[in-house]
Structure 1
Amino acid sequence: MSSRAYWYVWQERADRLRREIAALAVTGAGLSDVHARAIALVHREVASDLACWVTMDPQTLGLSSIASGDARIPPQYEPILAAAEYTPDEPHRFATLARRREPAARLSDLTAEERRRSTRLNSVWRPLGLSQEIRVPFLVDGVCWGAAGMARSGGDFSDREVALLVAVAPAIASLTRLVVRAEAGVPLTGMPPAIVVVGPRGEPRALTAAARDWRDRMDELVPGRFALMMELMAAGARATPEDASAFGRGTPRGRGPFSTRAC
Structure 2
Amino acid sequence: MNEESLLALQNVSFAYDDEEGKRVPVLNSVDVTIDKGSFVSILGHNGSGKSTMAKLMNALLLPAGGKVLVSGMDTQNGEVLWEIRQHVGMVFQNPDNQIVGATVEDDVAFGLENMGVDPKEMRARIDETLFSVGMEKYLMAEPHRLSGGQKQRVAIAGILAMRPSVIIFDEATAMLDPKGRQEVLLLARKLNREEGITIVNITHFPEEAIYSDRVIVMRAGEVMMEGQPSEVFSQVERLKEAGLDVPFVVRLRHELAAKGIDLPFVLHQEELVEHVCKLLLTK
Q: In which range does the TM-score fall when normalised by the shorter chain?
A: under 0.3
Between structures 1 and 2, the one with greater helix share: 1
TM-score normalised according to structure 1 size: 0.25
Report which of the two structures shows the higher radius of gyration computed on alpha carbons: 2
